[in-house]
């Protein structure tokens, strides 16, 4: 199939995200690059060793194993050994992923990763069964129903958590801040994720929350802004963009959201990798965020005051990849003050490469950088104003906590991986042996009177004192030019 260069370039933009989202809301960069094949020099001695191991398994393993399974597992192991985000998707998983990018999918609604053989929650998707039940970033899933997670692959665990809508599964979770394990009984559902939520919090002050970056996120945000602007009957006094617990998604969606607030043509993000097509500079122009370019530009009719309205971006440890791109771009251009806690730190781009057998591989092909050349990888976005959400943050995880994470090319390792010593493992086992379970806590409603970070963002916009959790150099208060 042939496509014109502009359309092909747009397809290359794809998605970025963090981990693997239960129900296949995967974070990735979609790209039709299966046709582009290179012929590397094959390591013959190593391939002979592989063939020897393959033969021994076929003849001596305690049970008969199909060739297809052995090859599939070998491919999976080759990819997962690279970094936490490269993986192999069988044909069913690939089809589910394609459905997920449309914003509707089945499952529990958890973005997860693998750490030391166990499943770690990166972020629950808002309004999903997992979010409603109270799962949190950093939770360690140790049992699925009565089956221990230890020894499963991430794909195996995800498949067990999937199922028909209205069926139940019990997750046993170890939380760092709890002395006893938590048990969550979740009912599977078709997740219809609404990626943009919004409201006028009070006259003149607009609030928009992006829960994930999907195909229509930029367009939906533009509609939300117009609706709030009409309701306000005039220019905004302040704007809060909430990217907390946003695991990422489509990269062109991140560019479109950034472009809504930046002058046309400003650099939003650039990527660097080994392959020529992994080197991109994405600016705030329609060709980089909407199919059809200027003819379909959904931000062209936005009110002019949106480019200068005082603005705060909210982030936390669940803000990853595409959401970090937006926060970093607005922060670098001094367009917004960033408030909250340090973001997840996923600064790599994954490309989906369809295979001839109907499967696909998700391969890390590039790192991305903010307009000022900052790499977010294993470091994240550091807020201008550090404000915790009022709960214990010690259980939160970041990219740097994951095994085999890529290093930050600018600063080296940002911090050491999470504690995986024998003492930590024994402590987790002791928690599982407890007969009683702790009660899960309900999530804080965003933009409510209980939302400490939102309250401090409003104070910042109004010129009132901001109560910070950790003293930092005071950032510039956003001003209207």
Q: Which residues are catalytic?
A: 321, 332, 346
Burial track 232-251 (b if 16+ CB lie within 10 A, e otherwise): beeebbbbbbbbbbbbbbbb
Q: Which residues pair with 92 in a beta bridge?
A: none
Rounded Cα gap, residues 120 and 117, in angstroms: 9
Q: Evaluate whether 437 touches 182 at the Cβ level (below 8 Å).
A: yes
Q: Is the dihedral of CA 73, 75, 81, 84 positive or negative?
A: negative
Rounded Cα gap, residues 366 and 371, in angstroms: 16
Rounded Cα gap, residues 212 and 232, in angstroms: 26
Query: Measured at the alpha carbon of residue 188, what is the angle toward residues 184 and 189, in degrees to the nearest 5?
Result: 135
Tell me how crowded residue 287 is: count the other CB atoms within 10 A of its CB: 18
CA distances from 262 to 76, 114, 241, 326, 329 (A): 41, 36, 14, 11, 9
Look at residue 105 and give its three-state secondary structure.
Answer: strand
Q: In 3D, which of 313, 318, 321, 320 has the Cα closest to residue 339? A: 313
* DSSP summary character for residue 408: B
Rounded Cα gap, residues 258 and 328, in angstroms: 10
Q: Evaluate whether 32 touches 132 at the Cβ level (below 8 Å).
A: no
Query: Measured at the alpha carbon of residue 221, what is the angle toward residues 311 and 304, in degrees to the nearest 5?
Result: 55
Burial track 294-324 (b if 16+ CB lie within 10 A, e otherwise): eeebbbeebbeebbbbbbbbbbbbbbbbbbb
| Alpha-helix runs per DSSP H in 143-205 | 154-161
Tell me how crowded residue 394 is: count the other CB atoms within 10 A of its CB: 9
Output the six-digit token pair for 164. Answer: 């028909």
Q: Which residues pair with 183 in a beta bridge?
A: 172
Rounded Cα gap, residues 142 and 402, in angstroms: 17
- Beta pairing, strands 337-340 & 311-315: parallel
Phi, psi for 451 (deg, rounded to 5): -90, 95
Which helix (H) or strand (E) segment holds residue 311: the answer is strand 311-315
């Amino acid at each position: 199939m042939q496509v014109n260069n502009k359309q092909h370039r747009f397809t290359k933009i794809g998605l970025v995200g963090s981990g693997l989202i239960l129900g296949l809301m995967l974070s990735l960069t979609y790209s039709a690059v299966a046709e582009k094949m290179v012929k590397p020099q094959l390591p013959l001695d190593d391939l002979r060793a592989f063939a020897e191991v393959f033969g021994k398994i076929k003849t001596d393993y305690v049970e008969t194993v199909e060739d297809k399974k052995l090859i599939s597992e070998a491919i999976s192991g080759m990819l997962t050994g690279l970094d936490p985000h490269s993986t192999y998707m069988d044909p069913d998983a690939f089809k589910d992923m394609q459905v997920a990018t449309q914003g509707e999918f089945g499952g529990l609604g958890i973005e997860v990763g693998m750490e030391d053989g166990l499943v770690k929650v990166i972020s629950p998707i808002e309004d999903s069964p997992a979010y409603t039940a109270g799962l949190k970033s950093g939770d360690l899933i140790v049992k699925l129903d009565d089956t221990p997670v230890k020894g499963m692959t991430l794909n195996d665990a995800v498949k067990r958590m999937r199922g028909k809508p209205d069926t139940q599964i019990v997750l046993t979770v170890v939380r760092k801040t709890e002395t006893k394990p938590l048990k969550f009984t979740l009912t599977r559902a078709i997740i219809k994720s609404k990626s943009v939520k919004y409201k006028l919090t009070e006259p003149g002050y607009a609030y928009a929350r992006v829960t994930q970056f999907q195909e229509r996120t930029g367009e939906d945000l533009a509609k939300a802004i117009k609706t709030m602007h009409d309701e306000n009957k005039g220019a905004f006094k302040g704007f809060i963009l909430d990217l907390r617990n946003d695991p990422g998604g489509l990269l062109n969606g991140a560019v479109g959201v950034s472009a809504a607030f930046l002058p046309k043509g400003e650099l939003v993000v650039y990527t660097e990798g080994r392959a020529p097509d992994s080197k991109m500079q994405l600016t705030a122009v329609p060709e980089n965020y909407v199919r059809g370019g200027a003819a379909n530009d959904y931000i062209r009719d936005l009110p002019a005051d949106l480019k200068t309205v005082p603005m705060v971006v909210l982030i936390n440890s669940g803000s990853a990849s595409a959401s970090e791109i937006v926060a970093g771009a607005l922060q670098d251009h001094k367009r917004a003050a960033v408030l909250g806690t340090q973001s997840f730190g996923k600064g790599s781009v994954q490309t989906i490469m369809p295979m001839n057998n109907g499967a696909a591989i998700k391969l890390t092909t590039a790192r991305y950088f903010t307009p000022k050349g900052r790499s977010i990888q294993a470091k994240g976005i550091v807020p201008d104003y550090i404000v915790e959400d009022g709960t214990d943050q010690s259980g939160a995880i970041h990219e740097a906590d994951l095994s085999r994470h890529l290093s930050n090319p600018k600063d080296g390792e940002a911090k050491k991986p999470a504690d995986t010593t024998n003492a930590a493992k024994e402590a987790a086992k002791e928690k599982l042996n407890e007969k009683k379970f702790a009660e899960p806590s309900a999530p804080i409603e965003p933009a409510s009177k209980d939302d400490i970070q939102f309250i401090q963002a409003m104070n910042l916009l109004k010129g009132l004192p901001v109560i910070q959790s950790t003293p930092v150099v005071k950032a510039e208060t956003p001003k209207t030019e």
